Amino acid sequence: MGRAPCCDKANVKRGLWSPEEDAKLKDYIESFGTGRNWISLPQRAGLRRCGKSCRLRWLNYLRPNIKHGEFSDEEDRIIFNLFTTIGSRWSIIAAQLPGRTDNDIKNYWNTKLKKKLMGLLPNSRRKPQPPAPLPPPPQLRTTTPTPVTSPFSQQLLLLPQPQSPSPCSPPPSKVYHHLAYINDCSISPATPSSFGTVNSVQSSCHETFTVKDQAFLGFGYDPRSFDSYENQQVMMKMKEESVHLHQDGFDFDQDTNQQRWAEAMSNEVYLGWEYDLIVG
DNA sequence: AATTTACACAACCGCGTCGTA
DNA sequence: CTACGACGCGGTTGTGTAAAT
């Protein structure tokens, strides 16, 4: 037995909203408010719509101060920073961008920003060429680690800290892909050769949390949600980043790292690190 | 000019969470 | 404490339109 439907689908209108329906909904809410009950609102407002549909229409389109149109560079930066920090929690991201809705940001990310940031935004509307063969795993060398500046982490450090979980409580397993929760934590063991085989996170209050097997600390992306082509592009991009970081003086255990890369590729899970935050 | 393809974004769906009786 | 209904969220689908063929 499935979940009971929220409304009688046979008797509600679906699809795009007409200007008349918009006017009805807007007039009603501006006059009487939502009454804290979206389910009964369409009936009260004289609309043949599902309450959920009314809520969405109001929140995403009709309510005052909604900002439409192009996103600014500053908004791009904020979205990117937050996405790399907390992942696809669009409502939280939207809360940082007055006038923007979670739906708007989600659409923007999925259709434009993700590609723009990966350098994939096509010049035309032509179908992209099939991905080039992936390069072989980077040949890694052993050097003395020195502080590394990542172009991403410089900005991440400016972000407001998330409300929860607190730095001193174990984050839920799903957030291990995201960096905000280790902002003031250090990676343990943090010896150079252990990069890529991180198995625990130590907080600033010296509590050590175990990272689940197969969970990786990364830039915040969860490429499993990308399609195959983009996933490859993302991983290639990040691979380049890690090579760059390596060349800047970070050390990796060559065998382990190559093995992990192969694993990451086959599982479509990206393995990566965020040095500044780990150190900080 | 007609058709196809790709894109943008609006809207829907289902599930988890929260508030309340 | 539990059950239930409503809300909110994130993923997915649908639709209109512009660009390419």
CA of A9 to C1' of C1 (A): 34
Cβ of A102 near strand C (distance < 7 A) = yes
Q: What is the pLDDT of chain A when averaged over all its residues?
A: 53
pLDDT at A5: 57
pLDDT value at A1 more than 80: no
pLDDT in tens, A38-87: 888 888 888 888 888 888 889 888 888 888 778 888 888 888 888 877 88
pLDDT value at A18 more than 50: yes
CA of A15 to C1' of B11 (A): 6
Task: For residue A224, give both structure tokens.
Answer: 């499993």
For chain C, which bases have at least one atom within 7 A of a protein Cβ? 5-12, 14-16, 18-21
Can you tell me the distance from the alpha carbon of A266 to that of A280, in angstroms, rounded to the nearest whole number? 32
Cβ of A155 near strand C (distance < 7 A) = no
Can you tell me the distance from the alpha carbon of A274 to that of A81, in angstroms, rounded to the nearest whole number? 13
Can you tell me the distance from the alpha carbon of A245 to that of A241, in angstroms, rounded to the nearest whole number? 6
Can you tell me the distance from the alpha carbon of A152 to that of A149, in angstroms, rounded to the nearest whole number? 8
Which of residues 56 to 95 on A have a Cβ less than 7 angstroms from any strand C atom? Answer: 88-92
pLDDT in tens, A85-106: 788 888 888 888 888 888 888 8
CA of A3 to C1' of C3 (A): 15
CA distances for A91 relative to A19, A100, A104, angstroms: 27, 10, 10
pLDDT value at A189 more than 50: no
Cβ of A55 near strand C (distance < 7 A) = yes
Contact A121, A115 (CB under 8 A): yes
Cβ of A125 near strand B (distance < 7 A) = yes
Cβ of A114 near strand B (distance < 7 A) = no
Task: For residue A39, give both structure tokens.
Answer: 């389910």
CA distances for A66 relative to A44, A58, A76, angstroms: 24, 10, 17
Q: A199: pLDDT confidence band, cut at 50, 70 and 90?
A: very low
Cβ of A18 near strand C (distance < 7 A) = no
CA of A4 to C1' of C3 (A): 15
End-to-end CA distance of chain A: 51
CA of A55 to C1' of C2 (A): 29
Contact A232, A131 (CB under 8 A): yes
Amino acid at A147: P
Place of tokens 């032509």: A126
* b/e code A167-198 from CB counts within 10 Å (16+ = b): beeebeeebbbbbbbbbebbbbeeeeebbbeb
Contacts of A135 (CB under 8 A, 6+ apart): A236, A239
pLDDT at A119: 56
Nearest nucleic acid nucleotide to A106, CA to C1' distance: C10
